Structure 1
Amino acid sequence: MNLKDKLTSSLRKRRSDVFLRADFAGLGSEAQLSRALRELVDAGTIVKLGVGVYAKAKPSALSGKPIPVRPVEVLAPQVFKRLGVKTYPSRLVAAYNAGATTQLPANVVINTGNRRIARKLGFGRQFIQYENNFESAI
């Protein structure tokens, strides 16, 4: 059984839709793992959300190209939880949830409290934006 087959069977067994490259570090060398992950991305089994961050994929109903099984705004908190970053609702989402406004946020914004995040995370043309408001995180 080659590494690509091991990765495929491991992905089928996982409940989580998001996984990190470090999850598979014990299966082979870095070069082998990179090659196998790239083959799975090319095959449409997984999609790359960022550096070392992947998600399960499904074919798009419109174009047939692979897309994440869940929207990026649903997957992003899972990624940050796996990375050990505590997240909070953004200012705009908190205002909407409190009933202060009826306007929904157009972009996906995640509040990271007082922690600065430089990781670029997203898929296609939709990327996560970060907000560092400790006041709204309390």
Structure 2
Amino acid sequence: MENSKLKEIILAEMEQSNFDVFLRSDFAHIGNYDRVGKALSQLCKECKLLRLGSGLYCLTEISDLFPGEVIPKAKSLPALAREALTRLGYQVVVSKAERERQEGRSTQVPTGRRLAIKGKQPNRKIGYDGTYVTYEHAK
């Protein structure tokens, strides 16, 4: 299959999907590992996709606030990271800061970029443009 055709198929599947975060493995049925990886890389260079981490991608749009800046199309970084981790099999729960805010013990509004993970902690960075989420161990 020609590379441009492969890119078209990947974009079409992403547009029709219910997910906002896509794993490289979501496209294993389209072509082999290297060809899919090359197509995803080219789509990132063309600013049609944003690489959130190793094997994690999302669709993009141009920011209204900062013309020319490419941002995720659907959600904020914390929401995308939460979806990515859930799809990777991690259990994401309410963080300590969010829990304190909900219980009225704090007036600070959490940024959402610190995610609480139950069980084994991920060893991957999720983010873009120098901004990444961090993890805390949940009890």
Task: Note whether the superposition's TM-score is higher than 0.5.
Answer: yes
Q: Superposition pairs for residues 79-94 of structure 1, below 5 Å?
A: 79-94=84-99
TM-score by length of 2: 0.89
Q: Which residue of 2 aligns with 1:60?
A: 63
Q: Which residue of 2 aligns with 1:133?
A: 138
Match status 1:44 vs 2:74 = no
Amino acid at match of 1:75: L
Task: Give the drift of 1:26.
Answer: 1.4
Task: Give the drift of 1:75.
Answer: 0.9
Q: Which residue of 1 aligns with 2:104?
A: 99
Task: Give the drift of 1:82.
Answer: 0.7
Farther off after superposition, 19-28 or 113-122: 113-122
Alpha-carbon distance between aligned partners in 2 of 1:113 and 1:35, rounded to the nearest angstrom: 34
5+ residue gaps, structure 2, are: none
TM-score by length of 1: 0.90
Amino acid at match of 1:16: F
SS in 1 for 2:52: strand
Farther off after superposition, 23-32 or 62-71: 62-71
Task: Give the drift of 1:107.
Answer: 5.9
Higher helix share: 1
Amino acid at match of 1:114: G
Aligned CA distance change for structure 1 residues 36 and 112 (closer, same or farther; 3 Å): same
**Is residue 126–residue 133 contact of structure 2 (8 Å, CA) maintained in 1?**
yes
Amino acid at match of 2:43: L
How large is the RMSD of aligned CA atoms in angstroms?
1.4
Amino acid at match of 1:55: C
Farther off after superposition, 44-53 or 97-106: 97-106
Task: Give the drift of 1:10.
Answer: 1.1
Alpha-carbon distance between aligned partners in 1 of 2:96 and 2:48, rounded to the nearest angstrom: 35
Aligned CA distance change for structure 1 residues 106 and 17 (closer, same or farther; 3 Å): closer
5+ residue gaps, structure 1, are: none
